[in-house]
Amino acid sequence: MFRHTTLMQFEAKPDKPDAVFAHKLQELIGGACGELTVAMQYLFQGWNCRIEGKYKDLIMDTATEELGHVEMLATMVARLLEGAPSTVTAEAVKDPAMAAVLGGMDLQQLIVAGGGALPADSNGVPWNGRYIIASGNLLADFRSNAAAEAQGRLQTARLYNMTDDPGVKAMLQFNLARDTVHQKQWLAAIEELEADRLEGPIVPDALFDEENQDHNNSIWHLSDGPDGPKADWSYNGSAIEYVADPKPLGGPGTAPKPDPALYGTFSPTMNAAGTIKGKAKSAKNKAK
């Protein structure tokens, strides 16, 4: 059960309107690494969690907090848009849409949201449920959560340096702090999962005897850079092999004959013996 209170988790009051920054702030709401993403990611992880207790409580506590962050950001966007677009453009511009464009405002904020926030990123691309990860495996999910909080904090830090508004900075300082502790908690929860022996360090902790034993401890050197093999790659004290000149293990990636009803271009002769040009070149080389 969820309950809403009119008091926000932290204050969201800019010192003055700024339609341009409101446009930028949309990224922290509906971007791939925004608050909508982590809120929905944690909600579905919590709803899908099979273990009642500390892990589910942690997930649901954080999910509910993230909903509060969406509210804070949406409120900040609406307040940054106060009086827009007329207050941010020349008085000669009478058409609201043109004024919005000249003022750097997102037209969708004006036309669709009536001067408010959108479930979209800073380019106006709608938020997508495909952004979230909720696999049912807590170790895999917690690793994704730590990465999501890192990306979110990175973007918040970038936006923090794009404004001089003390009110906006105060809210972003709070958001930075919460992103910090959320990274800490997911990293700590990963350690706890392993300490509780619910998961091992490799996800999933199974099928190790079934996997190909020749290829479970090697890095293939497939780039031009020479520095990869110089690193001391090791795991649990065991060195990971670096294959300097890996060779292909499979045959040509030839696609099968297409369904005639799909009208894909296909030549049985070339498919069986290579291209005509290639075949002629091969024969010429053999003749030499």
* DSSP output for 126-173: BP-GGG----S-HHHHHHHHHHHHHHHHHHHHHHHTT---HHHHHHHH
Q: Binning pLDDT at 50, 70 and 90, where does residue 9 land? A: very high
Residue 84 has pLDDT above 90, yes or no: no
As a whole-number percent, the residues of the chain with pLDDT over 90 amount to 69
Q: Which of 58, 80, 66, 60 is nearest to 28 (CA)?
A: 66
Do the bridges between strand 234-235 and strand 238-239 make them parallel or antiparallel, or are there none, so unpaired? antiparallel
Q: Is the peptide bond before 85 cis (omega within 30 degrees of 0)?
A: yes
Confidence check: pLDDT of 186 > 60: yes
pLDDT for res 69:
98
Residue 119: the pLDDT is 93
> pLDDT tens digits for 108-166?
887 788 888 999 999 999 999 999 999 999 999 999 999 999 999 999 999 999 999 99
Query: What is the per-residue pLDDT for 278?
Result: 54
* Residue 132: count of CB within 10 angstroms of its CB: 20
Sign of CA dihedral 52, 53, 57, 58: negative
The confidence score (pLDDT) of residue 55 equals 98
Closest by CA position to 51, among listed 140, 135, 138: 138
119 or 98: which leads in pLDDT: 119
Positive or negative: CA dihedral 46, 47, 51, 57: positive
Q: Lowest mean pLDDT: which of 28-32, 135-139, 220-224? A: 220-224
The radius of gyration of the chain's CA atoms, rounded to the nearest angstrom, is 27
Q: Per-residue pLDDT for 212 more than 80?
A: yes
Q: 282 pLDDT band (50/70/90 cuts)?
A: low
DSSP 8-class letter at 120: B
Q: pLDDT band for position 1 (50/70/90)?
A: confident
Say yes or no to pLDDT of 87 above 80.
no
On average, the pLDDT of the chain sits at: 89
User: In this predicted structure, what is the pLDDT of residue 109?
Assistant: 81
What is the average per-residue pLDDT within 82-101?
Answer: 60
Q: pLDDT value at position 275?
A: 54
The pLDDT value given to residue 276: 54
Distance of CA 155 to the CA centre of its chain: 11
| Distances from the Cα of 258 to the Cα of 23, 59, 134, 269, 274, angstroms | 48, 48, 36, 14, 17
**Whole-number pLDDT of residue 203:** 95
pLDDT computed for residue 265 by the predictor: 92
* Tokens representing residue 253 in the block: 């990636």
pTM for the whole thing?
Answer: 0.84
pLDDT value of position 188? 98
Cross-strand bridge partners of residue 238: 235
